[in-house]
């Protein structure tokens, strides 16, 4: 693939290292950082290097406070670098940009109080009916994020090993998603992270957020790259696949760091051969 040419559908990460994308977007949990954890110094350095070359977007199901604790509080970026960073919390239902030393909200598509109540009621009742309302939890199970209601089976602060062990096949989440979707068909219900199910306004998901990003930046979706850990059918990154955005599927933040470091290094004159580590 020639540098800068549009990559073919299903292009490998190695091929995308040679693609001169105009913007690179990322999921947060299990892509830039371990679930609910802060980005590492290695990832922070990789992102700063990337921000020196292209705009970067982070789009995640997490609340804006998670972006602060996991990403911004550990990025150590300059105001100039932050001005090239696009933040889309709660699966793109909110969009923030940095200007004048502060983060400004470009838009927010909040659920109404009545929609929030119906979503929370349906999530709890269906979880109990399916035997998924756990007695041992760490933090809130239901989280009203304004533009998104999130059910976290083990609570918002559950330890990572317990989260990974709770539903390794995704069957529990999918069963709950289907049951809740039947209760509130006017809203969007989808699987989120390893133990979560999210509810937003109908039609508002990561594909919607990426489309709004293209509109606001003027960068075509085909000229972007999206990196995420849930690009499989049913995953909350999967809607992006249908947009024709070149994608990189990862299993961990380490894989993401390797891709970013390789992409940045491939644009250094002294680099002639790049591989992903």
Which residues carry a binding-site annotation for Mg(2+)? 27, 29, 229
Which residues fall in the annotated binding site?
27, 29, 145, 196, 198, 229
Between CA 66 and CA 236 the distance in angstroms is 17
Which residues fall in the annotated binding site for alpha-D-mannose 1-phosphate?
145, 196, 198
Asked if 185 and 122 touch (Cβ cutoff 8 Å), the reply is: no
Q: Could you give the residue numbers annotated as active site? A: 27, 29
Asked if 154 and 138 touch (Cβ cutoff 8 Å), the reply is: yes
Instruction: Say which residue the tokens 């380490």 belong to.
Output: 254
Asked if 237 and 226 touch (Cβ cutoff 8 Å), the reply is: yes
Asked if 238 and 231 touch (Cβ cutoff 8 Å), the reply is: yes
Number of DSSP helices (H) and strands (E) in the chain, helices first: 11, 11
Nearest residue to 214 (alpha-carbon basis) of 14, 59, 52, 46? 59
């Amino acid at each position: 693939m020639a540098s800068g040419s549009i990559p073919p559908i299903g292009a490998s990460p190695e091929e995308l290292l040679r693609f001169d994308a105009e913007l690179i977007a990322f999921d947060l949990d299990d892509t830039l950082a371990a679930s609910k954890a802060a980005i590492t110094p290695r990832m922070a350095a990789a992102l700063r290097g990337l921000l020196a070359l292209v705009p970067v977007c982070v789009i995640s199901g997490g609340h804006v406070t998670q972006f602060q604790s996991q990403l911004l509080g550990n990025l150590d970026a300059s105001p100039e670098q932050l001005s090239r960073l696009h933040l889309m919390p709660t699966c793109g239902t909110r969009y923030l940009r940095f200007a004048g030393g502060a983060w400004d909200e470009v838009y927010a598509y909040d659920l109404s109080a009545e929609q929030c109540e119906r979503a929370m009621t349906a999530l709890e009742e269906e979880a109990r009916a399916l035997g998924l309302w756990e007695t041992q939890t760490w933090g809130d199970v239901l989280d009203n994020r304004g533009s998104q209601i999130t059910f976290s089976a083990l609570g918002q602060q559950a330890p990572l090993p317990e989260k990974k062990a709770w539903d390794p096949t995704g069957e529990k989440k999918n069963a709950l998603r289907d049951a809740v979707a039947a209760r509130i068909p006017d809203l969007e219900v989808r699987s989120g992270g390893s133990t979560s199910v999210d509810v937003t306004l109908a039609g508002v998901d990561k594909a919607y957020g990426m489309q709004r990003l293209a509109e606001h930046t003027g960068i075509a979706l085909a000229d972007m790259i999206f990196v995420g850990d849930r690009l499989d059918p049913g995953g909350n990154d999967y809607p992006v696949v249908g947009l024709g955005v070149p994608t990189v599927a990862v299993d961990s933040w380490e894989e993401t760091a390797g891709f970013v470091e390789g992409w940045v290094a491939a644009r250094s004159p002294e680099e002639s051969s790049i591989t992903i580590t």
